[in-house]
Structure 1
Amino acid sequence: MKTILASVACAISFVAGVAAQATAPQWGQGWTGPTACPSGWVCTVSNPYYSQCLQGTAAPTSSNPGTPTTAPPTSGGGTPTSSGSAASGTTTLIAGNSFIRAVEDPNFHKYLQSEKLGTASDAVLGDPGNAAQFQIVSGQLVQQVPDGTKLYAVVEGRSDSTVMKLKVSWSTSPASAGTFMWSGDTVEWSIPTIQRPQLNAWLVCPDAAGNKDLYVNLGPYSYQTPAGCADETIHAYTGATATP
């Protein structure tokens, strides 16, 4: 993931006499250094303190999301940090839907799904062959179950200010609080009652059975990570099949 201080634009002009401006590395992280996105990448502002270079065409910003979209504007999924087999998963993507997957170790190309497939259970990352398909509609992250059922991502409430991660699960009823949105191909979540430093910060924390449960990370990405958890961003993938 690539972070850039949002108090300056992602691309700025240097003083006269400088022939060309350096660009920040793809997926590099830091608050100083170059502030230009590489060619083919777009500066997307999440909040007054955080911006991100994303592949593809710019999407509405988190601070002004506009009309939610059913599918992200890109077919990315980001630049992988690991290599994997070229074999395809068993799920074929339906037009208008997206897979959602992590692109960083230790959950590289693990796909969002229900712990108990196609049911109202915990939101987990799992194997490509079981990948679920999604849309974001009116701020709701909707899982499209093959039998026509729709499941809605629900984020648990925060009991007090010391809680820094919120579990995500699936429900047959729409969520009553919080808003999911696309920022480029990245999934974000916000709620007016909680100020998050990074709207696209997630955690994956295995439960006692080894299921990779998904949580909203209320803290900054890759900082003070809870024990046993891994920092992740999760991205749309619109290839024909879910790939490892």
Structure 2
Amino acid sequence: MRPFKTTYLSALTAFLVYGVSGQTAGDYGQCGGIGWTGATTCPANWTCSEINDYYSQCFPGTATTSTTTATTPTTVPSSTVGTGSTSASSTSTATTTASSGSATLAPGYSFVRAVEDPYFHQYLQSEVLNTPTTAVLGNYTNAAQFQVVNGQLIQNAAGTNLYATVDPPANSSVTMLGMTWSTTPDTLGTFVFSGDSLEWSSPTVPRPQTNAWLVCPSGTTLFIYINLGYYDYETPTGCSDETLNAYTGPTAVP
């Protein structure tokens, strides 16, 4: 008969190794990624889809990806950046290309860029330009343009509104939230420019520092996340802490 102590330690080790990974993530919850120690199994009829090396998420059914290219310009409301709310009073459906290679900033809009190393002056945009895809940072020549209207961060995607939507946390152990661009407004939280700093908060998601962001590269793509912790504290392996700031120069610059 095996000694009780040996049997107990073996059972404890098995629980520590398999217990967490055997749990089931919630709907749209994180289910994997470098450094992830939470649940790795999705609910029945849901699939764990890899977003990048650092983040996988549960989606209903079989995960598929698609892109939609905006072809019909629509009216985009103008606002005063920094207030977080305004009413539509003018339209802007197109921009011109400046000699720098970036688009000329439309009235009432701003570029949004990182201001800390190692991604200093990388600009917020869609992974596939002007489409409802994952939020990333990229080169200044592709910098998108934004305004905050009634708590929504809106990208002017070649004349079409794309809204920044934040993935809801699956549980209290989640430390960062993915962000994508969508044709429908976000319902989880509120964006605001505080001065020129882009912040996000939600009544249902505790967050001690509302201007804390993370950049987690996968290959050459710089994925942007909302950091649910403090800036520069317990940074996930492979990621960097960042703050995002509005820039209202006539064109995006390096």
- Bin for the TM-score computed over the shorter chain: 0.5 to 0.7
Give 3-state SS (helix, strand or coil) of 2:141's partner: helix
Normalised to the residue count of structure 1, the TM-score between the two structures is 0.64
CA distance in 2: counterparts of 1:142 and 1:155, whole angstroms: 13
Larger radius of gyration: 2
Answer yes or no: is the 8 Å Cα contact 2:82–2:192 preserved in 1: no
User: 1:200: which partner in 2?
Assistant: 211
Alignment of 1:19-168 (within 5 A): 70-72=80-82, 88-146=100-158, 148-168=159-179
User: 1:176: which partner in 2?
Assistant: 187
Normalised to the residue count of structure 2, the TM-score between the two structures is 0.61
Answer yes or no: is the 8 Å Cα contact 1:201–1:221 preserved in 2: yes
Q: Give the CA deviation at 1:206.
A: 1.1
In structure 2, give the amino acid aligned to 1:140. Answer: Q
The percent of aligned pairs where both chains have the same amino acid is: 57
- Between 1:109-118 and 1:188-197, the stretch displaced more is 188-197
Answer yes or no: is the 8 Å Cα contact 1:89–1:243 preserved in 2: no
Q: Give the CA deviation at 1:88.
A: 3.3
Give CA deviations for 1:98-124 in whole Å, capped at 9, x if unaligned. 000001101000000000000000000
When you count helix as a share of all residues, which structure comes out higher?
2
Q: Give the CA deviation at 1:143.
A: 0.1
Answer yes or no: is the 8 Å Cα contact 2:111–2:144 preserved in 1: yes
Q: Give the CA deviation at 1:72.
A: 2.9
Question: Which has the higher relative contact order, 1 or 2, with Cα contacts under 8 A spaced 6 or more apart?
Answer: 1
Give 3-state SS (helix, strand or coil) of 2:178's partner: strand
* Structure 2 residue ranges without an equivalent (≥5): 1-78, 84-98
User: 1:223: which partner in 2?
Assistant: 233
Give 3-state SS (helix, strand or coil) of 1:129's partner: helix
Give CA deviations for 1:179-199 in whole Å, capped at 9, x if unaligned. 001110000000001221110
Two-structure CA RMSD over aligned residues (Å) = 1.3
CA distance in 2: counterparts of 1:70 and 1:122, whole angstroms: 26
CA distance in 2: counterparts of 1:149 and 1:88, whole angstroms: 24
Runs of 4+ in 1 over 3 A off after TM superposition: none
CA distance in 2: counterparts of 1:182 and 1:89, whole angstroms: 26
CA distance in 1: counterparts of 2:133 and 2:204, whole angstroms: 25
Q: Give the CA deviation at 1:71.
A: 1.1
* Structure 1 residue ranges without an equivalent (≥5): 1-68, 74-86
Q: Give the CA deviation at 1:145.
A: 1.4
CA distance in 2: counterparts of 1:222 and 1:160, whole angstroms: 22
Give CA deviations for 1:30-58 in whole Å, capped at 9, x if unaligned. xxxxxxxxxxxxxxxxxxxxxxxxxxxxx
CA distance in 1: counterparts of 2:139 and 2:186, whole angstroms: 26
In structure 2, give the amino acid aligned to 1:174. Answer: P
Give CA deviations for 1:153-194 in whole Å, capped at 9, x if unaligned. 001010011110000110011111110011100000000012
